Copies of this chain bind each other. A is one copy, B any other.
Amino acid sequence: MSFGFELIGADPGGVRTGRITTDHGVIDTPAFMPVGTQATVKTLAPEDLIGAGAQIILANTYHLHLRPGEELIREAGGIRRFMSWPGPVLTDSGGYQVFSLADLRKISNDGVSFRSHVDGSRRYLTPENVVDIQLDIGSDIMMVLDHCAEYPCSYETALEAVVRTTLWAERSLARYGPRISRDGYERVLFGIVQGSVLEDLRERSVRELVALDFPGYAIGGLSVGESKEDLYGIAGFTAKMLPVEKPRYLMGVGFPEDLVEAVARGIDMFDCVMPTRNARNGTVFTSRGRVILKNASNRRDFGPLDPDCDCDTCRNYSRAYLRHLFMAGEMLGPRLATVHSIRFYLHLMEEMRQVIREGLFSQWRKDFYEKYAKSAG
């Protein structure tokens, strides 16, 4: 088996469902990838992810490069063996983290140097060593190093990021090509479209990257502070220009409604820390909207967090118990809340896949908002 993408259903509006094939399993799209930054989806064990229906997880190259280091992960037999996760893994390039987390960053066309937030050591990422690091980590889908401009930024800055991103994409491919067979499985490289919220730059970025013929394309540089109108607008504008036969991944997005809107505009893959990070703080997404577990209204609520949810947390525990765990500072609270939030996101994707196959997405989208807007506090 090797990497592939098959479209199963699509409609003229651009919404689509499909299936990605990898050597470690299939990923039904639209897909949400839980974020396992440091080779663990915070608070969860792999069996929890499988129980929640996860088919792929994302790990962060930047974090793993700094700690424990890609050599250690390679020695362990790759990230799947290291963390005991049996399915496919996507790694980002680390570029976004360098721009958002690292100190003393210096960027040039050659690469980006920065100071590690873990131990203060000086590090250097280039398009080439980012491929090498990801090969050591052992992900199935690797991302090229890109230049993500801050938001807002000048036209010149956005243009510079696009030009550099294309240059780096070419160098990433020059390393070993877009499909690399190693250790008995295939790893593929995805390109990343930049261009801020500027349509002409997005168009240029797409044109240059599509010419390089990547196995898949990500849309980067969004969800960085722009308006929802720009997020949805640029995501849709960009998705429409991407080749129909390749998967499209909108990086770092987002709220449940953002996933619905992006799927409506033809996006196939998502990742976001939103469900896991919020869950750890006691805020969870449910079919009735957002719930803040510490709210006094949950104190004597012996019903489930979300009556429509089939997750372990909703089947076994009450809101009153979850609130107690958060009030008492118990680690089981973040864990049970994360189980629910991840299941909620994955179930949302399952629902969307089904209604797209059945040609009922437009109606479903209306129903979703009607129910979701009833926030249950």
Contact = CB atoms under 8 A, between A and B. Distances in A.
A331 B334 contact: yes
A68 B332 CA distance: 16
A119 to B, nearest CB: 11
Interface in A77-111: 77, 82-84
A362 to B, nearest CB: 40
Given A72-B299, A317-B84, A335 B327 contact: no
Interface in A38-93: 38-40, 42-46, 63, 67-68, 72, 75-77, 82-84
Interface in A322-361: 324-325, 327-328, 330-332, 334-336
Contacts of A369: none
A312 B45 CA distance: 10
Nearest to A45: B332
Interface of A: 38-40, 42-46, 63, 67-68, 72, 75-77, 82-84, 299-300, 302, 312, 316-318, 320-321, 324-325, 327-328, 330-332, 334-336
Contacts of A46: 316
B40 A72 contact: no
Taking the full assembly, how many copies of this chain does it contain? 2
A316 B84 contact: yes
Given A68-B327, A72-B324, 19 more contacts: A38-B328, A39-B321, A40-B325, A42-B331, A42-B332, A43-B331, A44-B332, A45-B312, A45-B335, A45-B336, A63-B328, A68-B324, A72-B300, A76-B321, A77-B302, A82-B318, A82-B320, A84-B321, A335-B335
A83 B299 CA distance: 14
25 contacts: A39-B321, A39-B324, A40-B330, A42-B330, A42-B332, A43-B332, A44-B332, A45-B312, A45-B332, A45-B336, A46-B316, A67-B327, A67-B328, A68-B299, A68-B320, A68-B324, A68-B327, A72-B299, A72-B320, A75-B302, A77-B302, A82-B318, A82-B320, A83-B321, A331-B335
